[in-house]
């Protein structure tokens, strides 16, 4: 057996149907995120159906936006391979696209249900970043979201497991496992957020969301700079995710400061609970 053989991206076959590890991992991440969000929603005075209804609408839209975002910035390829546009099981979805689509639907659903959008986003964003961290292992199975060429000794000196080192042998060269750096950054962000969000008089409504945006965009900016498969703005030669990360980072900090100054009556989270209100 070839010790450098990549892991099989197919989890199982059901006749003509192939179930990819990519989809299994993403689906598992979603289930974990929804389960944890429901638990937190109950602490905040919401019911489970509020979360399920929002996710039911947000997930398909997020998936469509994630693929559309990727295809848009790779249009030079897909305009000649139109039949491949729906093939998300081979990878090629963008986190930022999914966040944009999901956010739009959550705003619409929470307003329809007369639930504070800020509150709802504060509930789900810690689990969103956890799902992102788990989902990066789908990139691992597909051998994507990797960085530049490195020596095997570099990976060995990091004390990485053999299966990771072998999977980073791509097209005859070892690659920087940037998917791993982002996964670890995201999971660390989840731990920080859930450790702090119930601290009395630390966060007001919307500020768990801002903390998520600041944490994720900061890490993504630097990790994206290491990747060799980034999406680029065709007219400027800039990495799309780096530019968007910088914008999100600045906007989140600005909004946090602005809301603190202009909305002094915005509710603090008290002992894990909050008052439902639309702000």
Q: Which residue ranges are tagged as binding site?
A: 136
- For residue 18, which phi and psi values (nearest 5 degrees)? -110, 125
Per the CB < 8 A criterion, the answer to whether 124 and 30 are in contact is no
In sequence order, the β-bridge partners of residue 149 are: 175
Instruction: Return the structure tokens found at 7.
Output: 């892991």
Per the CB < 8 A criterion, the answer to whether 223 and 185 are in contact is yes
DSSP letter, residue 268: B
First to last CA, the chain: 60
Residues 6+ apart with CB under 8 A from 218: 245, 249
| Burial category of 251 from C-beta neighbours within 10 Å (exposed 0-12, middle 13-18, buried 19 and up) | middle
Residue-wise burial string across 116-145, b where 16 or more C-beta atoms lie within 10 A, e elsewhere: bbbbbbbbbbbbbbbbbbbbbbbbbbbbbb
């Amino acid at each position: 057996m070839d010790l450098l053989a990549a892991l099989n991206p197919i989890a199982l076959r059901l006749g003509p149907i192939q179930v990819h590890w990519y989809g299994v991992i993403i689906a598992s991440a979603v289930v974990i995120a929804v389960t944890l969000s429901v638990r937190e929603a109950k602490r905040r005075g919401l019911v489970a159906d509020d979360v399920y209804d929002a996710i039911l609408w947000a997930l398909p839209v997020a998936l469509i936006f994630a693929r559309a975002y990727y295809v848009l910035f790779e249009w030079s390829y897909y305009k000649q391979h139109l039949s491949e546009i729906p093939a998300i099981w081979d990878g090629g979805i963008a986190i930022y696209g999914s966040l944009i689509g999901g956010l739009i639907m959550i705003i619409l659903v929470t307003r329809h249900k007369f639930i504070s959008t800020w509150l709802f986003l504060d509930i789900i964003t810690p689990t969103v970043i956890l799902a992102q961290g788990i989902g990066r292992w789908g990139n691992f199975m597909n051998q994507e979201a990797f960085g530049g060429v490195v020596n095997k000794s570099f990976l060995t000196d990091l004390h990485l497991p053999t299966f990771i080192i072998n999977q980073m042998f791509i097209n005859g060269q070892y690659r920087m496992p940037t998917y791993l750096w982002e996964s670890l950054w995201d999971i660390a962000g989840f731990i920080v957020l859930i450790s702090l969000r119930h601290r009395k008089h630390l966060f007001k409504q919307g500020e768990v969301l801002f903390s998520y945006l600041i944490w994720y965009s900061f890490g993504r900016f630097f990790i994206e700079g290491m990747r060799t498969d980034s999406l680029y703005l065709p007219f400027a030669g800039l990495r799309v995710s780096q530019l968007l990360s910088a914008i999100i980072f600045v906007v989140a900090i600005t909004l946090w400061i602005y809301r603190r100054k202009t909305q002094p009556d915005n509710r603090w989270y008290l002992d894990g609970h909050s008052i439902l209100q639309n702000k």
